[in-house]
Amino acid sequence: MDELPKSIVDPQSDRDAGEQPTEPLTPWQRWGELLIAATVLGLGALALTGAQDIRVSASAVQVSPRLIPQIIGVGLLVVGGWYTVEIIRRPYTGHGEESEDFDPGAKTDWTVLAIIAAGLVCYAILMEFAGFVTASAALFFISALAMGSRSYLRDAAIAIALAVAIFLVFDTWLGVRLPTGVFGEWLSL
Amino acid sequence: MDAFGNLIDGFGVALTPENLLFALIGVFLGTFVGVLPGIGPALTVALLLPVTYTLEPVSAFIMFAGIYYGGMYGGSTTSILLNTPGESASIITAIEGNQMAKRGRGATALATAAIGSFVAGTIATLGLTLVAPAMAEIALNFGPWEYFALMILAFTTVATLLGSSMVRGLVSLFLGLAIGLVGIDALTGQPRFTFGNQHLLSGVDVVTVAVGLFAVGETFWIASHMRRDKSRVHKVSGSKWMTREDWRRSWKPWLRGTALGFPIGSLPAGGAEIPTFLSYTVEKKLTKHPEEFGKGAIEGVAGPEAANNASAAGVLVPLLTLGLPTSATAAIMLAAFQRYDLNPGPQLFDTNPDLVWGLIASLYIGNLMLLVLNLPLVGLWVKLLSIPRPLLYAGILVFAGLGTWAQSQSVTGLVVLYVIGVFGYLMRRFDVPVGPAVVAVILGPKAEVQFRRALQITQGDYTEFVTRPISGSILAIALLAFFGPVIWRGYRSRTGTRITTA
């Protein structure tokens, strides 16, 4: 699978290298966008095969319930293919819009993303077992830490205060049920 | 007039002390969340949805109207002072408004945006009052063919008119359509694409998709490229509100922006972006101060902001009368209706007049509240802009989780949210617009139902879609919207090469 796009991409970038003053694409720039296209193609295949599992009733009056999934499946394959061609011909080389929060010159910071991802996994695991308050406070603290906040005590205090406040407003006051976990007994007082 | 009689009844509903309070809470929360950097109107509405879950429908939608308009106001404050447009319709405001703020005219930019939004919002709500009942009347004659054709038109315009390239818009659209397939087949009742997971039987909710793409994806994006030096919020104090000269230069752009925003917004085709861009172009052409454009021209804030708000009211026309969302924000509003088992469409005006007219009346009230709330209280909102970014985005993640949990009550919902969030990050990185995906998630299944219903009536005869005059013409327009840009580009590049070779 890996060989096909590479053999198409490489001669192209070699040919353009002489004319383009811009720096060569990083592997991430090249493969990241193809990842989107590959997912679109994969979803197309999934929609077509999954459509076969839908039962079709004997009565011919109804339109086959497989039809729309099949149309969308074919659409995904066509669009995915078109996108792949587009990426190979004209890869997106932009770096995003500059703003006060966003630094387009900065390299993608994968460590930050990995820690936040760990925080999110923590959140999903803690939610049912330890309750909304614990899970939210942990997620808040971990992701603030990941993004460079170093006021540990302040962050921990805000994390707990925010989580408790959300719980009181939504669960206790507005009646949107949230998991209580270990805090069940004294939060529901 | 009938519409005004209904509107007066609507004010009767909206002006009760309780509902006034809900409207006030709505505009306050909407502005509060909308001001936060990185949160656009669509995400504001999605994140605040749980607040309305346990209210009576009428009160919920009155509050919702406030949140909708409040989110728009808040978003323009952020764009002007921080240059972080929460969504593409605010990009223009961010350009000129932020330049004004850099030159110490932040308060003036905020004032012309706020007053312009009020003027445009009020005129456009008046337009909504007049147009919506007429549109609902026409839509009563629509069958599944016409609805299906309208949805196809919405799909094509939303996907092809937004974003940097057509194929990226279509990628987004089809990702949304694919997500929309998950759940129970509406006509045969059997599960499909649920992979045996009972939590997926009810499908992937559009709120989860919007929160995943806008909140989680955006947080990943900013967190991985965070600016390390101190954030520079432009000060508002020191500069004056609008001078006589500012008024003189603002009122015409406000009206022109409204004239562009409302009609285009109320078409059953996508987008608040187009009127704002058009308004900017028009103002740039008509101004007596062309040298100021790009360096903080007040017309460049007044016009597009008015167009943006007018089209926000316009978008409610197809949403309320046809059940057709043409923006990400409208898609989330439609989800809110469905939560109460209400189906926006022509029948809604007959079955729930209290709700529809109470909602429209509270748009007038909310607009007035926002003007009062925004001009004197702007100092309070500006303080929100200096929240340390790590805490802000950590908070956004917590609220994203809350919104999803309140909706799905399952870990599956959270997993779906994160997967969509990773995709949101990739789409953000490679300039794939996310709006079409959000609209497709909710509109895809609706289009499928209309399509199959239509074919059941005609017993499998497809020609009816084309031979019925209204559905046929709408499909023709959709086809034109799809192929028009391609042909136009081809024509231009051909004439372009001819010029260069000549």
ipTM of the complex: 0.87
24-43 in chain A: CB under 8 A from chain B: 32-33, 35-37, 39-40, 43
Q: Which residue of A has its CA nearest to B186?
A: A65
User: How close does chain B come to A14, measured CA to CA in Å?
Assistant: 22
Cα Rg for chain B, rounded, in angstroms? 22
Report DSSP state, residue A26: P
The reported pLDDT for the residue numbered B66 is 92
- Taking the C-alpha atoms of residue B414 and residue A127, their distance in angstroms, rounded to an integer, is 10
- Taking the C-alpha atoms of residue B163 and residue B434, their distance in angstroms, rounded to an integer, is 9
Q: Which residues contact B359 (CB under 8 A, 6 or more apart)?
A: B10, B61, B62, B64, B65, B320
B-chain CB neighbours of A163 within 8 Å are: 398
The reported pLDDT for the residue numbered B287 is 87
Asked if A165 reaches chain B (Cβ–Cβ under 8 Å), the answer is no
Expressed in percent and rounded to 5, the helix, strand and coil fractions of chain B are 75, 0, 20
Q: At residue B191, what are phi and psi to the nearest 5 degrees?
A: -70, 145
How deeply is B431 buried, as exposed, middle or buried, from its count of CB atoms within 10 A (0-12, 13-18, 19+)? Answer: middle
Q: Which residue of B has its CA nearest to A92?
A: B430
CB contact under 8 A, B397 and A140: yes
Delimit the domains of chain B by residue range: 2-227+238-501
Size of interface A-B (CB pairs under 8 A): 233
Pick from B283, B174, B271, B275: nearest CA to A74: B174
What are residue A102's DSSP bridge partners?
A: B226
Report DSSP state, residue B226: B
- Taking the C-alpha atoms of residue B144 and residue B445, their distance in angstroms, rounded to an integer, is 13
- Taking the C-alpha atoms of residue B299 and residue B112, their distance in angstroms, rounded to an integer, is 9
- Taking the C-alpha atoms of residue A97 and residue B94, their distance in angstroms, rounded to an integer, is 12
pLDDT tens track for A148-183? 888 899 999 999 999 999 998 888 888 888 888 766
**For chain B, how far is it from start to end, CA to CA, in angstroms?**
63
Q: Which residues contact B163 (CB under 8 A, 6 or more apart)?
A: B169, B172, B431, B432, B433, B436
Q: Which residue of B has its CA nearest to A112?
A: B224
Give the number of other CB atoms < 10 A from CB of residue A182. 12
Q: Which residue of A has its CA nearest to B187?
A: A65
* The two structure tokens encoding residue A175: 């009646």
| Contact of B74 with B32, CB cutoff 8 Å | yes
The reported pLDDT for the residue numbered B368 is 93
| Contact of B268 with B153, CB cutoff 8 Å | yes
A-chain CB neighbours of B37 within 8 Å are: 100-101
Q: At residue B270, what are phi and psi to the nearest 5 degrees?
A: -75, 140
CB contact under 8 A, B84 and A102: yes
Nearest to B185 among A65, A106, A159 (CB): A65
Cα Rg for chain A, rounded, in angstroms? 25
- Taking the C-alpha atoms of residue B385 and residue B234, their distance in angstroms, rounded to an integer, is 10
* The two structure tokens encoding residue B243: 């001078």
Give the number of other CB atoms < 10 A from CB of residue A58. 5
- Taking the C-alpha atoms of residue B365 and residue B142, their distance in angstroms, rounded to an integer, is 33
B-chain CB neighbours of A149 within 8 Å are: 388, 390-391, 394
Higher pLDDT, A16 or A80: A80
* The two structure tokens encoding residue B106: 């932040």
pTM, two decimal places = 0.88
The reported pLDDT for the residue numbered B233 is 64
Pick from B387, B304, B263, B298: nearest CA to B112: B298
* B487-B488-B491-B496 Cα dihedral, nearest 10 degrees: -150
- Taking the C-alpha atoms of residue B210 and residue B83, their distance in angstroms, rounded to an integer, is 22
Delimit the domains of chain A by residue range: 3-89, 110-187
> What three-state secondary structure class fits A131?
coil
Q: Is a pLDDT exceeding 50 seen at residue A18?
A: no
Per-residue pLDDT 10s for chain B (502 aa) are 577 888 898 898 889 999 999 999 999 999 999 888 878 888 999 988 888 888 888 999 999 889 999 998 888 888 888 876 666 677 778 888 888 888 888 888 889 999 999 999 999 999 999 999 999 999 998 999 999 999 999 999 888 876 668 899 999 999 999 999 999 888 888 889 988 888 888 889 899 999 999 999 989 988 888 876 655 666 665 566 788 888 889 899 999 999 999 999 998 886 677 888 889 889 988 888 888 888 888 999 999 999 999 999 999 999 999 999 998 889 999 999 988 888 899 999 889 888 999 999 999 999 999 998 888 888 888 888 888 889 999 999 999 999 999 888 899 999 999 999 999 999 988 889 888 999 999 999 999 999 999 998 888 888 889 999 999 999 999 998 888 777 776 666 655 444 333 3
Which of A54, A120, A151 has the highest number of chain B CBs within 10 A, making it the mutation to test binding with B?
Answer: A120
The reported pLDDT for the residue numbered B482 is 83
Nearest to A69 among B192, B426, B455 (CB): B192
CB contact under 8 A, A68 and B451: yes
The reported pLDDT for the residue numbered B220 is 93
Contacts made by residues B279-285, CB under 8 angstroms, sequence distance 24+: B279/B92, B279/B253, B279/B303, B279/B304, B279/B306, B279/B307, B280/B92, B280/B96, B280/B304, B282/B256, B283/B253, B283/B256
> What three-state secondary structure class fits B430?
coil
Q: Span A135-152, mean pLDDT?
A: 93
Q: Which residue of B has its CA nearest to A116?
A: B220
